[in-house]
Amino acid sequence: MDLSRFARRRYTAWATPVEPMPRFSAALAASCPGGRGPEVWVKRDDQLGLFPGGNKTRKLEFLVADALAQGADTLITCGAPQSNHCRITLAAAVKEGLQCRFVIEERVPDSYDVNASGNNFMFRLLGVEAITVVPAGTDMAAAMTRVADELAAVGRKGYVIAGGGSNALGGLGYVACAQELQQQCFDAGLWFDRLVVGSGSSGTHGGLLAGFLGNRIDTPIVGIGVSRDAAEQAPLVHKEAQAVVDLVGAGFSVPREAVHCVGGYWQPKYSLPNAGMVEAVQMLARTEGILLDPVYTGKVMAGLMGLARKGELKAGERVLFLHTGGLPSLHAYERVVLGDAPVAG
């Protein structure tokens, strides 16, 4: 898939590492059937540029390039109160000399606190221009359009970025990631039986799937839902992957059977902690010194662990976990991830 005709800002001057996790794999195997489990590796997209890394950086390389080409002076995006996407979008705006505004959706009532730590602290430190807080269920696209209209009324130009940077243009970031990973595997003589990734707004999962299919990478992708179960999530991923394929002009249809989504690990609700997430965050921290976040990667790793314990990720399989970042939000859940506060079972 040729991405060369698309404008792109480069925020990362390196390929993110692909690393084995032998101590984590051994700890997980102890709880798997027969005391044997998969060989788990990690691709460190938490080390992407735009501090402190994360998957949104790849999407923003294409989205911000488009914003600059259109003469925008302000980036407008949306997310939940501890949104990693909002924080990285703001970091990109600072780097490019742009202003940035957010629409924050309180998916859990009264969950936004301007003085909270984690990403909310980062919002203030990085200098967000304005934040509009709206209740759960708000039409976020319409709310961001209203912000853009307010800017236009005073002679400014806003550029609206969808939640999670998840549209066809943003999805190109994970086509590029697929190509990067393919080259890394070739150079190192590596292969993987499966790749596990978080599946939420679907831009990362859909972009990767388009990139794998378009570059003939036959490794299956398993998307662990962070806000929906498979029946609702799979159509979103399929739609995103097809939109990316169509934008590139690759000329093929994404098979529905190529979309593999797993639910059951995100409950009781998006962003609310559960016991599986706490176990996953603690285990990876204490075996490999790698930190996960409580909203996305912690629940995704809980899903990987659950599939291994069920025998669905088989003993001896080499599984690659895509670490999509999210470190700052960890600080807003300190008591929870240390096991000092009750969580859902």
Euclidean distance between CA atoms 276 and 267, whole angstroms: 10
> What tokens appear for 108 in the block?
């859990």
What are the DSSP E strand ranges found in the chain?
Answer: 18-20, 39-44, 74-79, 99-106, 130-135, 158-160, 194-199, 221-225, 260-262, 318-323
- Which residue bears the tokens 């984690």? 118
- Would you tell me how many other CB atoms lie within 10 Å of the CB of residue 131? 17
Q: Which amino acids are annotated catalytic?
A: 83
Q: ∠ CA(295), CA(201), CA(128), 5° rounding?
A: 70
Q: ∠ CA(117), CA(120), CA(126), 5° rounding?
A: 110
Spatial CA neighbour of 300 closest among 246, 224, 218, 248 = 224
Give the single-character DSSP code of 344: B
How does DSSP assign 242-253, residue by residue? HHHHHHHT---P
- Which residue bears the tokens 């008591």? 335
How does DSSP assign 10-65, residue by residue? ---SSPPPEEE-HHHHHHHHTTSGGG---EEEEEEGGGSSSTT-BTHHHHHHHHHH
- Which residue bears the tokens 């490794």? 219
- 88 by Cβ neighbours in 10 Å (0-12 / 13-18 / 19+) ranks as buried
Euclidean distance between CA atoms 207 and 7, whole angstroms: 17
Euclidean distance between CA atoms 219 and 184, whole angstroms: 14
